[in-house]
Amino acid sequence: MENALQLLHQRRSIRKFTDQPVSEEQIRSMLSAAMAAPTAHNRQHWQFVVVSQRERLDQLSEVHQYAKMLKQATLCIAVCGDRTQTFWEQDCAAATQNILLAATGLGLGSVWLGIHPKPEAVQNVRRLLAIPEPYVPLCLIAIGHPAEEKPPAERYDEAKVHYEQW
Ligand SMILES: Cc1cc2nc3c(=O)[nH]c(=O)nc-3n(C[C@H](O)[C@H](O)[C@H](O)COP(=O)(O)O)c2cc1C
């Protein structure tokens, strides 16, 4: 349990990667972690698109201006939700955080790239990954073996905490 708490702080956005590929086993572990996340009514209406082809990763790096690190990343997972389902964004966000934490635990680097609710980014990702309606890509996650190190996040701020009432 203590390790789990450390992992939460150790997870940082990594945007520089080596060219070493992520193994099939590691991909499976991250997807398994994603699907262990909570969902409203336990509906699990999510879908994951796993991309490792260099050409497609390069294309995804152009979906918006803050996705350039996909040119270096060796893996990308698009987390998609069924927009007809209430709470789909929260469900997919929980899965996304689990993937980031699993990546950290596996010694990989990762970063969350926001897609929904930017219409142009959603359209770009939908086209490149052939995502059908009513699914919407909430985000892309760039993943790879890290080529940078960051200190654990310590952002506790008492001013943001209210007890009993605001
Ligand atoms: C909804 C969301 C969208 C984000 N989109 C991007 C993005 O497009 N590009 C990027 O480099 N980082 C993106 N990030 C990562 C944040 O910049 C990062 O989490 C934040 O700066 C805190 O740093 P840390 O993750 O290292 O703790 C996003 C994070 C979230 C939660």
Regarding the beta carbon of 10 and ligand 1, being less than 6 Å apart is answered no
Regarding the beta carbon of 153 and ligand 1, being less than 6 Å apart is answered yes
Q: Is 41 helix (H, G, I), strand (E, B) or coil?
A: helix
Tokens standing for 117? Answer: 């609710």
Of 86, 79, 75, 74, residue with least CA distance to 125: 79
Count of H helices and E strands in the chain? 5, 4
- CA-CA distances (angstroms) from residue 46 to 22, 86, 116? 22, 12, 14
- C-alpha span between 55 and 66 (Å, rounded): 18
Listed by start position, the domains of the chain span 11-148
Using the 8-state DSSP alphabet, how is residue 17 labeled?
B
What is the CB neighbour count within 10 angstroms for residue 122?
Answer: 17
Residue 47, amino acid:
Q
Regarding the beta carbon of 59 and ligand 1, being less than 6 Å apart is answered no
pLDDT in tens, the chain (166 residues): 679 999 999 999 999 999 999 999 999 999 999 999 999 999 999 999 999 999 999 999 999 999 999 999 999 999 999 999 999 999 999 999 999 999 999 999 999 999 999 999 999 999 999 999 999 999 999 999 999 999 999 999 999 999 999 9
- C-alpha span between 33 and 104 (Å, rounded): 12
Nearest 5°: CA angle at 96, between 95 and 100? 120
Strand partners, 139: 79, 114
Place of tokens 């996909």: 70
**Superfamily grouping for domain 11-148:** NADH Oxidase (3.40.109.10)
**Nearest CA residue ID for atom 20, ligand 1:** 13
Regarding the beta carbon of 114 and ligand 1, being less than 6 Å apart is answered yes
CB 109 within 8 A of CB 95: no
- With a CB cutoff of 8 Å and minimum separation 6, the contacts of 74 are 17, 19, 20, 21, 22, 52, 57, 143, 144, 145
**Nearest CA residue ID for atom 18, ligand 1:** 13
Q: Which pLDDT does position 2 carry in this prediction?
A: 76
